[in-house]
Amino acid sequence: MAVQRILIIRFSSIGDIVLTTPLVRCLAKQFPNAELHYLTKPTFRSILEPNPYLHKVWLWEDEPKEVLRQLKEQRFDLVVDLHHNLRSKRVKLALRRPSVSFNKLNVEKYLYVNLRINRLPNVHIVDRYLATVAQLGVKNDAQGLDYFIRPEDEYDIKQLPQTHQNGYVAVVTGALKNTKRMPEVELSEVCKRMGLPIVLLGGKAEAEFGAHIASDLGAAAYNTCGEISLGQSASLVKQARVVLTHDTGLMHIAAAFHKPIVSIWGNTVPEFGMYPYLPLASDQQFISQVTDLSCRPCSKIGYADCPKKHFRCMKDQDLTKIAEEVKRMFAFHPNS
């Protein structure tokens, strides 16, 4: 198939969009004469607009008639639907151009979450995204994920306390759902057991959470929760020695920078195929999870509260082991 102009669709969210970047790069490099366009929500434009492999980022507004009209005029040779929902179906119907769609494996996820029958393939979602365009002959270049920081988002490490300027652990406090986030008491205890300089990262929703942990840790913690942008948080992730994170967007951004990652998993499981994608440094990650719970995974996304009310998937985590893995990686990777 001759392709000169390709539209990629992924509306959300941070991590999911970052996980599409190998497909973007591979298409750009393997079809150097093609224009790559990307359709997403306005909230996520800052993730994609700095990407040098993209010709244009289109935004799906609340009233999308105008953007659909403009997209029709592009006469795309191929639409690559990586979201595969009703909204993306609307786009494909409006454009009436050749398209391929990502298989979300919803049936397999339903079986695993509701019946504990695991028929999910042992394949990372990045490779499943790439399989969507396999018919074009696209091959995985094994270079991992991409994340491009805008110059205005570069965080000057000299703004950190002197104690943190020679190396720190970036601790990602947040997650989209509470059941994917370690409670404040446990996360604070992990940080204490590490005994290392810490930079706390999180959005406005984690401002109070981060403030409590920072108060508990004292001078060891520098709290940025709710104070800086996503791009600035990404810059601090890039400059960290090690990243301690939940299953969330900054985890995938850390993987894009090939950082050593210790990830903490609650109600979700790595078997969903969205663990840190580090094809060139698979020894640089440790996954912490409670594996002997019959109620896990309880959701493919998460809940505001534990459906069973015990929250053992987080409260039974091995805090000492998590801290030891962070310290091991911190010592092994002396340079940020």
For residue 24, give its domain range. Answer: 5-136
Query: Is the residue at 145 inside a domain?
Result: no
Query: Which pLDDT value is given to residue 281?
Result: 64
Are 156 and 115 in the same domain?
A: no
Are 48 and 195 in the same domain?
A: no
Are 62 and 155 in the same domain?
A: no
Query: Is the residue at 173 inside a domain?
Result: yes
Query: Is the residue at 303 inside a domain?
Result: yes
Q: Determine the Cα angle at 309 with ends 304 and 313, to 5°.
A: 80
Does the pTM surpass 0.85? The reply is yes
Bond into 13 cis (ω within 30)? yes
Neighbours of 150 (CB within 10 A): 14
Query: Is the residue at 146 inside a domain?
Result: no
CA atoms within 13 A on the CB side of 159: 12
| CB-based contacts of 119-124 (< 8 A; 24+ apart in sequence) | 120/271, 120/272, 120/273, 121/273, 122/271, 123/273, 124/273, 124/274, 124/275, 124/277
Helices (H), the chain: 14-18, 21-30, 45-48, 65-74, 86-95, 106-115, 125-131, 184-194, 207-217, 230-239, 249-256, 312-315, 319-332
Query: Is the residue at 141 inside a domain?
Result: no
Residue partners of 42: CB distance under 8 A and separation at least 6: 59, 60, 61
Number of domains, the chain = 2
Are 193 and 322 in the same domain?
A: yes
Are 107 and 178 in the same domain?
A: no
Are 192 and 279 in the same domain?
A: yes
Are 108 and 67 in the same domain?
A: yes
- Structure token digits, residue 320: 């000492």
Query: Which pLDDT value is given to residue 336?
Result: 52
Residue 112 belongs to domain with CATH number = 3.40.50.2000
What tens-digit pLDDT sequence spans the chain (336 residues)?
Answer: 567 899 999 999 999 999 999 999 999 999 999 999 999 999 999 999 999 999 999 999 989 999 999 999 999 999 999 999 999 999 999 999 999 999 999 999 999 999 999 999 999 999 999 999 999 999 999 999 999 999 999 999 999 999 999 999 999 999 989 999 999 999 999 999 999 999 999 999 999 999 999 999 999 999 999 999 999 999 999 999 999 999 999 999 999 999 999 999 999 999 999 999 998 666 789 999 999 999 999 999 999 999 999 999 999 999 999 999 999 999 987 765
Query: Is the residue at 171 inside a domain?
Result: yes
- E strand or H helix that includes residue 35: strand 35-40
Are 87 and 114 in the same domain?
A: yes
Of 136, 170, 201, which residue sits at a domain end? 136
Query: Is the residue at 144 inside a domain?
Result: no
Query: Which pLDDT value is given to residue 197?
Result: 98
- Structure token digits, residue 146: 């991409």
Of 96, 111, 136, which residue sits at a domain end? 136
Are 109 and 158 in the same domain?
A: no
Neighbours of 274 (CB within 10 A): 19
SS3 36: strand
- Structure token digits, residue 309: 């009310």
Query: Is the residue at 47 inside a domain?
Result: yes
Are 172 and 206 in the same domain?
A: yes
Are 41 and 114 in the same domain?
A: yes
